[in-house]
């Protein structure tokens, strides 16, 4: 099964944050992403891992 990829803008709209916040998390190493040329793409598996780390036990 192929993995789905998201742009920072797509995730920003989905989670009500700014695209700059998404890019900041990528640069901090908190959210894994791939840079293709000048654009970032976030794999769905990396998003799921990021969201799992944010859950309160």
Q: How far is CA 43 from the centre of its chain?
A: 7
DSSP string, 8-27: HHHHHHHHTS-HHHHHHHHH
pLDDT digit string (tens) for 9-51? 999 999 999 999 999 999 999 999 999 999 999 999 999 999 9
CATH number of 5-53: 1.10.10
pTM above 0.75, yes or no: yes
* pLDDT at residue 2, rounded to an integer: 92
* Domain segments of the chain as ranges: 5-53
């Amino acid at each position: 099964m192929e993995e789905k990829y998201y742009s920072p803008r797509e995730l920003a709209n989905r989670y009500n944050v700014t695209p700059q916040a998404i890019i900041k998390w990528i640069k901090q190493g908190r959210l894994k992403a791939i840079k293709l040329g000048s654009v970032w793409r976030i794999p769905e598996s990396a998003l799921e891992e990021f969201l799992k780390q944010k859950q309160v036990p």
